[in-house]
Amino acid sequence: MSTSTTTGPTTSPGTDPVTHPATDPRAGTSADAGAKPLIGVLAVQGDVREHLAALTALGAEAVTVRRPAEVEAIDGLVIPGGESTVMDKLVRAFDLREPLLRRIAEGMPAFGSCAGMIMLADRIVDARPDQQTLGGLDVTVRRNAFGRQVDSFEQDLDYAWSDRSRHGTVHAVFIRAPWVEEAGPGVEVLARVSEGVAAGRIVAVRQGNVMATSFHPEVSGDRRIHAEFVSIVREHRLQQSGARQSPEREDTA
């Protein structure tokens, strides 16, 4: 068993025709706090369409991200499920790694599902020797922790909703999913496996503006987790807008 710290993606380019990628580096950073948040979905590989549909249904402007200029334009980022090693390679091949690292480190909200959780983890157990991640979550994750594709399963989970207007369990779909083996002191655990041989394993976390799930909320039809992320993005936009529009002024009376 080997433990590897990672910061990069690998996968082949997506071909999603649904979106309109932003090319203006300032397009997603409008000071107008009332504007729709511009949320990008990393579209080098994985289930991109489902995330785009969920975000659009919640009132966000959802776009694909495949170019460095598009990274600069967005207010938040979703990293979909797929194959983390392929995403890692493709992120580096498309020169996305450095801008993504910088924006996440600067506080841009990010949400990852399944492979996206691996991409946002600071550490991976049993990673491939050259595998890197983008980081942002002080967690150690194990790839394919629940087994192979044939071991995929569904389960209802208790979930720690930050918005009190949301409540109830989450129907989670696990497909070759990772789990969190260790979480740092600044990480909030949002959900654990409720039963079975993996009972108690951590499968949803948040640290600041970064959140991740082992499972795939984009395929279940339940948009509450996406709604939580859109709320994080909106709040971050408001904070950024306030910082830009409210410079300190001296009283000259």
Q: Is 167 a catalytic residue?
A: no
Contact 207, 136 (CB under 8 A): yes
Catalytic entry in 51, 61, 83, 216 = 216
Q: Is 216 a catalytic residue?
A: yes
Burial class (CB in 10 A: 0-12, 13-18, 19+), 247: exposed
Cβ neighbour number for residue 16 with a 10 Å cutoff = 16
Determine the Cα–Cα distance for residues 155 and 169; give it in Å rounded to an integer.
Answer: 10
Determine the Cα–Cα distance for residues 62 and 214; give it in Å rounded to an integer.
Answer: 22
Catalytic entry in 50, 61, 83, 218 = 218
Q: How many helices (H) and strands (E) does the chain have?
A: 6, 13
Catalytic entry in 51, 70, 72, 114 = 114
Which amino acid appears at position 83 of this protein?
Answer: E
- DSSP conformation class of 227: H
Please give the positions annotated as active site: 114, 216, 218
